[in-house]
Amino acid sequence: TQLGEVEVVAVQSGQAKNEMATVSSRQFSVEETNLYAGSRGEPARMATNFAGVQGSDDQRNDLVIRGNTPAGVLYRMEGINIPNPNHFSIPGTGGGPVTILNNKFLANSDFFTGAWPAEYGNAIAGVFDLQMRDGNNQKFEGSAQLGLLGTELMLEGPLGKGPKAPSFLGVYRYSTLSMFQALNINLGTNAIPKYQDGAARLTFPLKNGGKLALWTMFGISDIEILISNQTDTSGFESYGSTDRDQYFGSDMIVGGVNYTRPISKRAFMKAGIAASSARITAVNTKLQREIGPLDGGGFGWVVTANDTMLNYTFSENKIHGFISYNQKVGLRGTLQYGVNVDLYMLNYQDSVRQFDGVTGTLPPWRVQWATQTAWPVVQPYISYKSRLTEKTTLTAGATSLYAGVNKISFMPLEPRVGISYQATAHDRFFAGSGLHTQMQAPYLYYYAVTTVGHDPQEHNPDRIGLMKSLQVAGGWERTYKGLPIKTKVETYYQYLFDVPVETKPSSFSMLNAGTGFGRIWPDTLQNTGVGRNYGLELTVERFFAGGFYFMTTASLFDAKYQGSDGEWRNTVFNGRYAFNVLAAKEIKLGKNNRFNVGIKYTTVGGRWFGAQVDETETLRTGEIVFIDETNNTVQYRAYERFDLKLGYKWNNPNTAWEFGLDLSNLTSNKNILTLTYVPGLDDPNTAVNESVREEYQLGLFPVFYFRCDF
């Protein structure tokens, strides 16, 4: 009971754990986010309920923060910058369809949406600073769970005796998505995704008041999308193309050692070292199909030819390290300084043949990537926090970023500053600003097309420097005496510059990248693009107390960019508004049983696409291509979804049993996912524009689980 009371106090504050945070930050509470309906137990989907974050994609959990590219988000675990923590990850993205992260091994963490402290670098959109919890060092506990998204097992307990005994924690999950197929539930694909993931942690308290922790997490996934087995002309693949058979696999593992110890009564240090490996493999076979008679009768797609058209393996291995010091200065100051280092070891191999829809032929093989290289990324930082008066606190700091990928990816100084004014016992005003920089996904620097019999054409290795974002934010928050409620209003402005765009005049910008299930093949890039985002956000939140929780968030924003053609356009992610309302209630039934109900409503402005199809390029590539001048000039209709979550828990002396049902898109609203090009649906001579159709996101998506805690 005492432990529960301490947790409630920490959560009710709602403040980020990082004491240098002033603006655009909040605590990610494991206890409360588990109440969110429609989140599938995924931290990233839970975070889409926060102000400034868009949650308008049922297929992927990309974090679109304040209209920025999801590729601009930094994921950190235990102080280490980790690879994309999602299954079926695509190079250059930060999201995926299924997360590797599991709330069962996470502790309360920090989430930043802008102007974050100097400790964090190499990000322009946001930071998710995740922490892993220690295992129970007093008694053995466990949990076994069966659900549509996976079968899970968690074990934790002491590795000795006494109040400071070492502890262990282990979590493992294996996918059971085949249940969806058996229940005829639409996953957006006829294939069955396979995945498994897990995490483990050993914690050793030390005599000097320090702590040593060994930890790891991993994820393995693969899928085979066999379009050649699909004869229905109305079929659609959310996760692949409709003109090829595809095998795709991804895996990642990261593990490290963290050490924390007090140096004196007024200072402590933290250090960590880790290694990670991420690999992505894909093989595509081009299909040529026509509508004809089927062996079983009727008409449908018939494969007339198939040829391998793509084969690639991308491997990124890294060594990570950090050390930081925190020291009290006088009665009012805190000094924090340290350095983060990542050593990249890359191996990119890729060959492709782009099918020509006009001639109906596959040209000779082209090598697009053939690279083995290594280089470091170094980010030193320093921050100082001073309580200027009883009501005013100032935080100032700076960081620097050096990326060894080339000679121009270096930023000597990125200043950060924040100020907080506690006007009354319940009212706080705050403001902050910072310059933030980020390198691009490493594979983009090594795109070098080589056609058989010709010399390679290196596009980007030494031409792309760091992308930069100058961010300003400020606001007001209010708590209420005797009530677990907080209101927060925040406004912001971001100016992005040195954005990679194409050297030839076009609408292309890296600000539109970072989502979807495909890589980017840009032309030669240069850092001459710009962008700007501004908005207003509102959060009204009642923290979990007395068995009840609710949160309402509303965001009004505008996100635009300028490509090398000089035209200002909407970014793909410029929905212009986002609104969420969610609530959860725990009802006691007798002494030992609980019934939980949660609801959520979300609406987000639609994403943007082109106004006119480029018929020649669409026919040639077999994929929808818009006339460049019309890109991002037409908006999808608004995304709208209602979710319901139900749970029942009954407690016995030594066990607790729980059944849960999470119903996403309860009303089966048809939200647009994308536009696709499907030639010759009824007639091989159908015009290109008539072969473009809307494809929709998931309808009613039920997820159940049955869990036993022991």
Is 303 a domain residue? no
Is 122 a domain residue? yes
Residue scoring higher pLDDT (452 or 283): 283
**3-class state of residue 270 by DSSP:** strand
Q: Are strands 568-570 and 25-28 parallel, antiparallel or unpaired?
A: unpaired
Cα separation, 108 vs 86, whole angstroms: 20
In eight-state DSSP terms, residue 513 is -
Q: Are strands 608-609 and 410-422 parallel, antiparallel or unpaired?
A: unpaired
Structure tokens at 672: 């647009």
pLDDT given for residue 16 in this prediction? 86
Q: Across-strand partners of 36?
A: none
Is 302 a domain residue? no
| pLDDT-wise least confident of 309-313, 327-331, 352-356, 545-549 | 352-356
Q: Which of 461-470, 520-529, 534-543 has the highest mean pLDDT?
A: 534-543
Cα separation, 649 vs 596, whole angstroms: 8
365: containing domain: 2-295+317-709
Cα separation, 42 vs 40, whole angstroms: 5
In eight-state DSSP terms, residue 83 is P
In eight-state DSSP terms, residue 4 is H
Structure tokens at 589: 């039934």
| pLDDT-wise least confident of 31-45, 93-107, 255-269, 656-670 | 31-45
Alpha-helical runs (H) found in 147-256: 178-182
pLDDT category at 61 given cuts 50, 70, 90 is very high
| pLDDT-wise least confident of 80-89, 223-232, 305-314, 613-622 | 223-232
List C-alpha distances in Å: 12 to 7, 219, 588, 597.
9, 33, 22, 21
Each residue's pLDDT tens digit, 494-523: 999 999 999 999 999 999 998 877 787 777
Query: Is 460 a residue whose pLDDT tops 80?
Result: no
Is 311 a domain residue? no
From the number of C-beta atoms within 10 Å of its C-beta (0-12, 13-18, 19+), residue 652 rates as exposed
Cβ-proximal residues to 442 (8 Å cutoff; 6+ apart), any chain: 316, 344, 346, 405
Tally of domains within the chain: 1
What is the DSSP secondary-structure string of 17-77? SSTT--SSEEEE-HHHHTT-TTSTT-HHHHHTTSTTEE---SS----EETT--GGGEEEEE
Is 301 a domain residue? no
Q: Give the number of other Cβ atoms within 10 Å of residue 86's Cβ.
A: 28
Average pLDDT on 382-398 reads 97
Query: Is 8 a residue whose pLDDT tops 80?
Result: no
Q: Mean pLDDT in the chain? A: 89
Average pLDDT on 1-20 reads 55
pLDDT given for residue 421 in this prediction? 98
| pLDDT-wise least confident of 109-113, 184-188, 545-549, 590-594 | 184-188
pLDDT category at 9 given cuts 50, 70, 90 is very low
Query: Is 323 a residue whose pLDDT tops 90?
Result: yes
Using alpha carbons, select from 359, 365, 364, 368 the residue that is nearest to residue 622: 359
What CATH code is carried by the domain that includes residue 602? 2.40.170.20
Alpha-helical runs (H) found in 489-643: 615-621
Cα separation, 551 vs 55, whole angstroms: 15
pLDDT given for residue 6 in this prediction? 34
Q: How many CA within 13 A on the CB side of residue 458?
A: 9
pLDDT given for residue 291 in this prediction? 72
Structure tokens at 684: 């091989």
Cβ-proximal residues to 482 (8 Å cutoff; 6+ apart), any chain: none
Amino acid letter for position 198: G
Alpha-helical runs (H) found in 576-656: 615-621
Using alpha carbons, select from 536, 415, 410 the residue that is nearest to residue 465: 410
Each residue's pLDDT tens digit, 652-706: 989 999 999 999 999 999 998 888 876 654 455 555 556 677 888 989 999 999 9
pLDDT given for residue 5 in this prediction? 34
From the number of C-beta atoms within 10 Å of its C-beta (0-12, 13-18, 19+), residue 102 rates as buried
| pLDDT-wise least confident of 218-232, 306-320, 374-388 | 218-232
Is 472 a domain residue? yes
Cα separation, 522 vs 508, whole angstroms: 8
Q: Give the number of other Cβ atoms within 10 Å of residue 180's Cβ.
A: 19
In eight-state DSSP terms, residue 613 is B
Cα separation, 665 vs 482, whole angstroms: 36
Amino acid letter for position 700: L
Average pLDDT on 599-619 reads 91
Alpha-helical runs (H) found in 507-596: none
Q: Are 589 and 556 in contact (CB under 8 A)?
A: no
Is 304 a domain residue? no
Each residue's pLDDT tens digit, 569-608: 999 999 999 999 999 999 999 889 999 999 999 999 999 9
Is 592 a domain residue? yes
Q: Are 396 and 404 in contact (CB under 8 A)?
A: no
pLDDT given for residue 2 in this prediction? 35
pLDDT category at 7 given cuts 50, 70, 90 is very low
Q: Across-strand partners of 429?
A: 421, 476
